[in-house]
Every structure is written in C-alpha cells, then in structure tokens.
Amino acid sequence: MESKEKFAPPAEFAAQAHVPSFADYERLYAAALADPDKFWAERAGDLHWFQRWTQVCDWSNAPFAKWFVGGKTNLSYNCLDRHLPTARRNKAAIVWEGENYEQRTLTYQELYRKVCKFANALKGLGLKSGDRAIIYMPMVPEAAVAMLACARLGVTHSVVFGGFSAEALKTRIQDLEACLVITADAGLRRGKEVLLKPAVDESLADCPTVKNVIVYKRLGTLTQMKSGRDHWWDDLTTGISEECPAEPLDSEHPLYVLYTSGTTGKPKGVVHTTGGYLTYVLATMKWVFDLKEEDTYWCTADIGWVTGHSYVVYGPLAAGATTFMYEGAPDWPKWDRFWRLIEKYRISVFYTSPTAIRAFIRQGDDFPNGHDLSSLRLLGSVGEPINPTAWKWYHTTIGKERCPIVDTWWQTETGGILISPLPGATPTKPGSATRPLPGIVAEVVDDKGEPVKIGKGFLVLSRPWPSMLRTIYGNPERFKAGYWSRFPGKYFTGDAATIDEDGYIWCLGRVDDVINVAGHRLSTMEVESSLVRHKSVAEAAVVGAPHEMKGEAIYCFVALKTGVNGSDALVDELRDWVAHEIGALAKPEKINFVAALPKTRSGKIMRRLLREIVTTKSVAGDTSTLEDYGVILKLSQEGKEEEEILGEKK
C-alpha cells in the first residue's frame, strides 16, 4: 500500500490557492489548536445568523456536544437567500444532466423559488419544525430542492439511497417515525427505469406514522396513487406562493438523520444538526476544494450518502458555487460518460471514489484520452483507501500531472472532511490522506489509548469539532458505547491507521464489523441477519475479503438447516435474497456452505478467523478457545480452494 513518493503542490496552483503554503496550513492549524472557540467563531461569521450565539462550544455534557449555543440560523437561507442580493442571483446553482442526456440549469434565484414553493407545499400538508420526512429519490435537482425545503422549515430529513430495498426503507421510516415520504415515480440507471414508488408502497404497509407521500414525476411511469395519501409534486406546487420565509432555527436543531451501518444488524441513525454542521462544511469547501467563484464543481456521490449531503448540496450551495449533478451510471452508454461530462460542462473540480477510479483504469486510457479534460484543476477521492497505483493513474491520465489530488478521509459521523491535504499547501503521498484539517485533533493510538509516534494503531479524534454527529437517533446509549467507550474521552473512528515520520496518516480500513464494499458501508451483521431470515439457513457469518475492484467484497459462511443441501441454485437464491432484503449493493460476492461455524466456548462466532481465512487463506493465532478445531481446518481448506478461484478471476 505505502508509497515513498511525495508530490509537492504545483506552483501555479499554490499561487492562486486560498491556503497557498504549508506554513500557512501550519499557522491555521496552530491558531485552531490554541483558541478553538475564536477560530470557529470566525468561520461561523461567514454565515447568516438570525441571532448570534452566546457560547461557541459546550462540551460540559460530553460526549454530547453543542455548538454555537443560543444561535439561530437556517441552512436553506444560507444556501439560497444569502446569495440573492449578490451577483450570484443569476449564477447557475445546479447544473444537471440526466442519463438520457436531458439537461437542466437552475440559477440561485430559480432554485430559491422552487424551494420556497415546495416548502409551502409541505406547510400545506401540515408539516412543521420538528417533524421527520424521508427522501427516497433519484439524482435529480428536486432531491436537493426537497432537502432544502425541509431545512427551510426545520423538518428533519432522512435521505434513503434509491438503491436500498423496500425493507431497508421500512426500517428507516419506522425508526424515525416519519410522517412524510418524498419520492419519484422512477429513476434511470443504465437505460432502465428503476421504479421507486412501488418500493415506497411496499414499505408503507407497516408504517402507520406516514400520512402523506409526495411523488415527483421523473419519467411519467405508470404509477398507482393512493387517494388521500399520495400527491403529485407538480399538483402541490402549482399556483402556490414563491415566497416562504426561512425559519430561524436553533443552532442545534436536527437537520438530518442519515442511517449508516454499525456493528449490529440494525443501521444507526446518525444525527447532524444545523449551525456547527454548516460552519464546518463551508470551511472545508474552501480549504479542501479551494473553491472559487468561477469553478464548476462535480462530486459524483449520490445524495443518499453523506458525501451527497455535505459536498453535493449543502457545502457547494453555501459557498455559492455551481454544483453539477449527474443522474446515471458512469458506464452508460459507454465508459467515457464522466469524461464526456467533464468536457461538455468544463468541470474544474472533480471528486469521486477509488472504486470508480479502479473501474476506469480497467477500461483503458482511450476513454479519457478521447476527451478534453483541460478544464480540470483539482481532483478528489473519498470513501475508501486509494491504492498508490490508482492514485498515480488519476494523477497522470486524468489530472495530466497538473492537478493536485485531495484524498479526503471522513465518515458519515464526522459530517465533513477531517483529514486531507490542502491542495495548494500540503505535499501529497499517494495512499495517505496526509494531515488533519485545522481544528481537528486526529491521533493514532495503541491498545491503551497512548499516542503512537510512528507506526500502526487506532485512529481517534481527541477534540470535538463543529460537524460531529450529536447522537444516534433515539439511542444515546449506542452513541456513547459505540464511539466513546473504547478510548475514554476520545472519539473512536473504528479505523486502523499508521502515522509516519511526517505525521501523515494512512488509513488502513475498519477494525470492527463494518465493511466497505465499493465505498459503500455495510455491517457484516446486517447481512448475517438477512441470511438467517431465509428458511434454509441455520447460521451465518459474514466477513469482508480484499477485492481488486471493490476494495472489499462480502464473503458469507453459511450453515444450512438439517436436511437442506447446498447447491449452486441455493447460492444464487441466497445472494438474490440479501440483495432484495437490503439492496443490490449488499449482494454477497461468495457464499460458502459449511458444516458449522467456528465458535468460542461462550458461543461467539470467531469472525477474526474467518477474516483470516479469506484474507490469508490460512489460520494462525490463538485458537485455544475454539470449540471445534476441526471446523477451522475444514474452513481453512475451503479458503485455499477459494484462493484458487480468486486467482482464476484475476
């Protein structure tokens, strides 16, 4: 993984950057460390506040933080109204291209009017501050409109990725006790209609709290509407006022809940609030993406993920930037679609995932080389470790050795980017997210929580930061136990990392039961619970195995019920079962049938051993607590066969 190479920021880039030298970064870092309250108050000053805060950070009830205590603000106001008295009013806020080449541009003024109209429609349905709404939409501008309209009224939104199943949608609606679902008839993916409304209908059979469903007509697909509950977006917003004042909301008002996988079978609702979140996201737009008025910025993430929240919608719009959105797949109709879009819209800042980069590499250089990529000035990566080979290809073939690369480390829980180079300031090393941003105290610690000077350990955050999650929705105990108990007083990220002689951090991936498949976060327990719900399965254990393209892939060890025999047909059935229960992204790569799972004497499945089998194809370490060593030997043998299969695949 590690590369010894170091790349200085290109002089031309540094000359124009917001933070133009490493000394400037260090000055900012030192200022934030010395007086965090003053530092963050200055950043918050870039926003509009209806009422100024009385205290910057209240950490007296740790780990439950409050930022900008007593302040009143509104995200929608800061993303829209704040720009209208300036030249940005007729600047493109969102430029969008559908997979079918449809194009739309919404200026700040147009976006403002759409958001106000939709917010008035929500009011008309009786929604008010404190209510919760689910957004289950394709990548269309209306998804951003829905988010901004909710934020305008103080309705807490929860965006559920359109690729999640009806079952996954249902558990989120139930946990949140949402009263509204905003959806679309369908979206487009690889030329096919992906139906969304039927999944909503299926999930709502068990969700009595939902009183209304709003349906945006994206494709005009034949859609069943339930009278009294379902409303067309256009019907609700026609002839309605284009003015809707933004609610002055408490700085700690919950802006959104985003469900993500933890170490149990039940996804957790990560709660983000208002003032601190926006302050941090706006600051990082400037530091990390060096955003300028003339940039056309494209983050390829779906709005269903945190990256889509912070760096497709809220960050860029708060910064008054032009944010580009694309609806479909990178390989549709060919593998050059992204490069075509960059050329056509003159994208200047491009932010994507290592999995996408590895997929592009595999398709060969003719695709990018066939397009004019000279508008690019900065490249970003997020979601998983980027291997040096992928980094260098990105640097050479896409960036033409001209564009700095920002490898940004962060999490759903952190709300914004925490570890990343500043493109005009920080020398980069391929594979390392480099140094923490100003205001972030990231440390690599050993088992006992002692800082490691150089070497491997656990990645922790030692001080609160404005965009940190505030709790787990409805489960403060899980918040405390999950993040704050392993190393008292410090936030445990769940990641292992090394720190080198320059203080650079190299994230090595998760050390818990979370796996990262193609940049999508999944819990092994979620897949296990799904498998054991199948009638043929007695027990299941799931681990992540290294995968050339996806980073990690899902490997399942399944013990079948007595009398059931394993077959290829059953493998297919189980893979489809999980995909149906959770979503296509959770479809297992491999299912191994085993006689029994390795367990400790107390009955705990020894996932570490299974992980070792799929990673190294052999078993080492302490197996003295194993109930049945024979099972391990058998699994280990199967692991070896597995290696041969994997070898063939390569």
Residue count of the chain, please give it: 650
Shorter beta-carbon distance to ligand PRX: residue 260 or 428: 260
Return the range that interacts with ligand PRX (CB under 6 A); candidates 135-143, 403-411, 560-568, 602-610.
403-411
Contact 136, 183 (CB under 8 A): yes
Contact 153, 201 (CB under 8 A): no
Return the range that interacts with ligand PRX (CB under 6 A); candidates 1-9, 165-173, 283-291, 410-418.
410-418
Q: At what angle do helices 197-204 and 166-176 cross, to 10 degrees?
A: 50
Instruction: Tell me: does residue 442 bind ligand PRX (CB under 6 A).
Output: no
Instruction: Tell me: does residue 433 bind ligand PRX (CB under 6 A).
Output: yes
Instruction: Tell me: does residue 540 bind ligand PRX (CB under 6 A).
Output: no
- 165, 516, 523, 530: which one contacts ligand PRX (CB under 6 A)? 516
Q: How far is the CB of 495 from ligand PRX (least distance, A)?
A: 5
Instruction: Tell me: does residue 421 bind ligand PRX (CB under 6 A).
Output: no
Alpha carbon distance 80, 186 (integer Å) = 28
To the nearest 10°, the Cα dihedral for 442, 277, 313, 295?
-60
- 382, 522, 542, 605: which one contacts ligand PRX (CB under 6 A)? 382
Shorter beta-carbon distance to ligand PRX: residue 392 or 521: 521
Return the range that interacts with ligand PRX (CB under 6 A); candidates 24-32, 52-60, 391-399, 488-496.
488-496
Strands 230-232 and 212-216: parallel
Helices marked H in 84-226: 108-124, 141-153, 166-176, 197-204
- 146, 173, 303, 306: which one contacts ligand PRX (CB under 6 A)? 306
Instruction: Tell me: does residue 210 bind ligand PRX (CB under 6 A).
Output: no
Stretch (H or E) spanning 79 = helix 75-79
DSSP 470-512: --BTT-HHHHIIIIITTTTTSEEEEEEEEE-TT--EEEEEESS
ω into 385 cis (within 30 of 0): no
Beta-bridged to residue 496, according to DSSP, are 458, 509
Instruction: Tell me: does residue 409 bind ligand PRX (CB under 6 A).
Output: yes
CB atoms under 10 Å from CB of 4, counted, come to 8
Q: How far is the CB of 207 from ligand PRX (least distance, A)?
A: 25
Phi-psi region of 383 (alpha: psi -120 to 50; beta: other; left: phi over 0): left
Question: How many chain residues are in contact with ligand PRX, going by CB under 6 A?
Answer: 22
- 341, 507, 559, 635: which one contacts ligand PRX (CB under 6 A)? 507
Shorter beta-carbon distance to ligand PRX: residue 91 or 510: 510
Instruction: Tell me: does residue 495 bind ligand PRX (CB under 6 A).
Output: yes
Four-residue CA torsion sign, 316, 382, 411, 39: negative
Q: How far is the CB of 147 from ligand PRX (least distance, A)?
A: 17
Backbone angles phi, psi at 113, to 5 degrees: -65, -40
Token digits of residue 226? 């339930």
Q: What is the DSSP letter of 525?
A: H
Return the range that interacts with ligand PRX (CB under 6 A); candidates 128-136, 504-512, 540-548, 625-633.
504-512
Interface mask toward ligand PRX for 105-144; x: CB under 6 A = ----------------------------------------
Beta-bridged to residue 164, according to DSSP, are 583
Nearest to 611 by CA among 549, 533, 556, 535: 556
Four-residue CA torsion sign, 292, 294, 300, 305: positive
Q: How far is the CB of 278 from ligand PRX (least distance, A)?
A: 17
Return the range that interacts with ligand PRX (CB under 6 A); candidates 69-77, 236-244, 377-385, 469-477.
377-385
Instruction: Tell me: does residue 510 bind ligand PRX (CB under 6 A).
Output: yes
- 74, 251, 493, 592: which one contacts ligand PRX (CB under 6 A)? 493
- 380, 415, 438, 509: which one contacts ligand PRX (CB under 6 A)? 509
Shorter beta-carbon distance to ligand PRX: residue 419 or 540: 419
Contact 487, 460 (CB under 8 A): yes
Any idea which residue has 């052999």 for tokens? 618
Return the range that interacts with ligand PRX (CB under 6 A); candidates 116-124, 195-203, 367-375, 408-416.
408-416
Token digits of residue 416? 């914004």
Contact 54, 69 (CB under 8 A): yes
Return the range that interacts with ligand PRX (CB under 6 A); candidates 36-44, 225-233, 362-370, 383-391.
383-391
Q: How far is the CB of 270 from ligand PRX (least distance, A)?
A: 8
CB atoms under 10 Å from CB of 488, counted, come to 8
Please compute, for residue 16, the number of CA atoms within 13 A of its CA located in the half-sphere on the CB side.
13
Q: How far is the CB of 621 from ligand PRX (least distance, A)?
A: 23
- 410, 465, 473, 483: which one contacts ligand PRX (CB under 6 A)? 410
Instruction: Tell me: does residue 440 bind ligand PRX (CB under 6 A).
Output: no
Residues that bind ligand PRX (CB under 6 A): 260, 306-307, 382-385, 407-412, 433, 493-495, 507, 509-510, 516, 521
